[in-house]
Amino acid sequence: MPTVESFDGTELFYEDVGEGHPVVLVHGWSASHEFFDPQIAAFNDSYRMIGVDLRGHGKSEKPAGDYDYDTQCRDLQHLMGELNVDDATLVGWSMGGGVVTRYAGSFGDYISQLGLIGPAAPKFLQDEDFPHGLPEEEVLPLLEMEKNDRPDYRHTVYEQAVHREVDDATHQYMWELSMQTPTWAGVPSFEALMEEDMTDDVTNIDVPTTIFQGNQDAFCSLEGAREMAAEIDDAELVEYDDVGHTPHWEITDQFNEDFGDFLDSF
């Protein structure tokens, strides 16, 4: 099983498929690298597709402790160094979009292009400076559900994430992948999702960036994505009509066409 030992000894699982320009894929909360299965399958003949399981997720080690974004970014930095990745395209979905936003804005090593899919950035929660997030009073009960009824809550998350109809087998697949993240990792990761602020990171991004955003995303709004695109010096926003939080699953063919154009623009 391919793993890298991170800065604090945590074992991080990854898949490294194909050859060429490296593309590092970072999943969302309670997900894994397998959420990029359609993209790894589509592009491994032209690119080196590296799917990472964040600590606490997928097949990576699941320690107790910090799951803040700086810790996750140090993991990414260490992994890319160990895998001899340079000038990579770094791609993040959902919470992973927040993590890679922090990485691009505050770390920046080894990358030359950034892709964000329904990013939970610059903030996940709504406040007076960012009215496009979710209200805290709506999110706190979800955290309690994660603490007290993880299996049922994970079903709820992935039912809400998908706006267009997908088959029952796909929903079951997402749920099974999600259940690889235990509560002791899911709760602090969720708390980090709620608390992290990437406002300064957004304005510090200095690599070409593309944001892929559905206009029916239940977690991360189109308005927030538009604001991010306006704040980044070299950014493009790809908007999808009648699509939710998972465009790479809901409209895979269209998304992969746009994603391919994005990769080819490097």
Q: Report the CATH number that the domain containing residue 239 is assigned in CATH.
A: 3.40.50.1820
Q: What is the pLDDT of residue 248?
A: 97
**What's the predicted TM-score (pTM) here?**
0.97
Predicted local confidence at residue 166, as pLDDT: 87
Q: Which parts of the chain have pLDDT scores under 70?
A: none
Range of the domain at 214: 3-264
Tell me, what's the pLDDT at 266?
79
Number of domains in the chain: 1
The whole-number pLDDT of residue 165 equals 83
- Give dist(CA 80, CA 108) in Å, integer: 11
